[in-house]
Amino acid sequence: MYSSAMAAEPPNPYAPGRALAEEPEAGRAGRPSRWLAMVATLLCLQPFAGLGLYVLGRTRRLLFWVVPSTVACTLMLVAVWMVKPTLFLIAAGATVLLMLGSLADTIVAAPSVSAPTFRRALVTVLIIFVAERAGFLGVKRWLVEAFSIPSGAMAPSLLVGDHIMVKKKTSTIQRGDIVVFRYPPDPEIMYVKRIVAVAGDMLAIRSDTVFVNSAALPQSASPEKCPRLGENQADVDCRLAQESTGLRSYAIMVEGDFNTDLSPITVPAGHVFVLGDNRHNSKDSRAWGPLPETDLTGLAVFVYWSQGQAGEIRWDRIGQRL
């Protein structure tokens, strides 16, 4: 008779061990995730729009998108600072095409055997996303920022629905510049107006004419029609004029018969005097006095997009310098 121990079959030397038997399950848990790749591509904007390819282990293909995207984004910043709207629009169009291309590549790319584990990929994506957001906030704070125009106070230079680029540089401000600033009565609100006088200037307004240091800013009649800002625009007497500070020439709009006279004042040190180009429909330094230069946040340089209140695209305004 055989004992129970002897009756047991000998172990099969070819049977998979415990670690080997569990390897397929572990492999499934560590496979690159297609949905994580898609989320990474959609969440992380330029220049990391193709980050999903990292999740799939396609590092070389990721660099194929990241390098030109970085160049395009850099050109956008350079275009704002050099006031080159055409270059900006070309670079912006390139970033959109690169973003769509990287998204399509992420959809069709096959995962690589060298792809990172799900956990490692997730941590990397979150770190890059946070770093990208921090970089974006830094660019807005110190380099450039986009704004939209909600009112007609700067018409005809800026219309409702205009989207403008602003460079964060106020050390070389001069008369005629359009500036973005914190509204003195409520610093949480951003305003946009034109500088007509700087520190030390004596300014006065008589019969819609601005006098700086006792000299009137030259005005000439404009044959252009006033832009339609509301339903009753046609019922209001309106005229356009071309005004010049000596350094800059721009259009202003005067509606109706209003008295905008202002007694002579001297702009104090560290301040500027700002007016809206729509002179009779603008709350500006005439209401709250000279603007502290510390409230300035940047210079408006050009319109990069414009859409009317009815949704129509105003192609003629896109790329217009300010």
* Start and end residues for every CATH 2.10.109.10 domain found in the chain: 145-317
What pLDDT score was predicted for residue 153? Answer: 93
Cα torsion through 154, 213, 174, 225, rounded to 10: 30
Contact assessment for residue 203 and residue 195, using Cβ atoms and an 8 Å cutoff = no
Rounded distance, CA 69 to CA 240, Å?
Answer: 43
Provide the whole-model pTM. Answer: 0.83
Tokens 């095409």 belong to which residue?
Answer: 97
Least confident among 83-97, 106-120, 158-172: 106-120
Which amino acid, residue 263?
S
What pLDDT score was predicted for residue 259? Answer: 65
Nearest alpha-carbon partner for 260 in 276, 248, 245: 276
CB hemisphere CA count around 101 (13 angstroms): 16
- Flag whether pLDDT at 251 surpasses 70: yes
pLDDT band at 26 (very low <50, low <70, confident <90, very high): very low
Nearest alpha-carbon partner for 54 in 70, 28, 32, 27: 32
Q: With residue 298 as reference, give the H or E element that holds it.
A: strand 296-306
What pLDDT score was predicted for residue 34? Answer: 81
pLDDT band at 14 (very low <50, low <70, confident <90, very high): very low
pLDDT band at 179 (very low <50, low <70, confident <90, very high): very high
pLDDT tens digit string along 47-57? 887 888 888 98
- Flag whether pLDDT at 286 surpasses 70: yes
Burial of 223 (0-12, 13-18, 19+ CB in 10 A): exposed
Rounded distance, CA 178 to CA 173, Å?
Answer: 9
- Flag whether pLDDT at 114 surpasses 70: yes
> DSSP assignment, residue 116?
P
- Flag whether pLDDT at 27 surpasses 50: no
Tokens 């429909």 belong to which residue?
Answer: 281
Q: CA of 216: how far to CAs of 111, 203, 211, 219, 249, in Å?
A: 71, 10, 4, 9, 14
Q: What percent of the chain has pLDDT over 70?
A: 87
Q: Which residues pair with 146 in a beta bridge?
A: 165
The mean pLDDT value for 98-115 works out to 88
What pLDDT score was predicted for residue 5? Answer: 47
Domain with residues 145-317, CATH architecture: Ribbon (2.10)
Mean pLDDT of the chain: 86
Nearest alpha-carbon partner for 162 in 301, 31, 268, 287: 301
Structure-token pair, residue 149:
């125009």
Q: Per-residue DSSP letters for 48-113?
A: STTTHHHHTT-HHHHHHHHHHHHHHHHHHHHHHHTT-HHHHHHHHHHHHHHHHHHHHHHHHPPPPT
What pLDDT score was predicted for residue 230? Answer: 63
What pLDDT score was predicted for residue 28? Answer: 44
Tokens 């390819």 belong to which residue?
Answer: 53
Nearest alpha-carbon partner for 149 in 180, 195, 187: 180
The mean pLDDT value for 7-27 works out to 47
- Flag whether pLDDT at 148 surpasses 80: yes
- Flag whether pLDDT at 33 surpasses 80: no
| Helical ranges in 163-207 per DSSP H | none
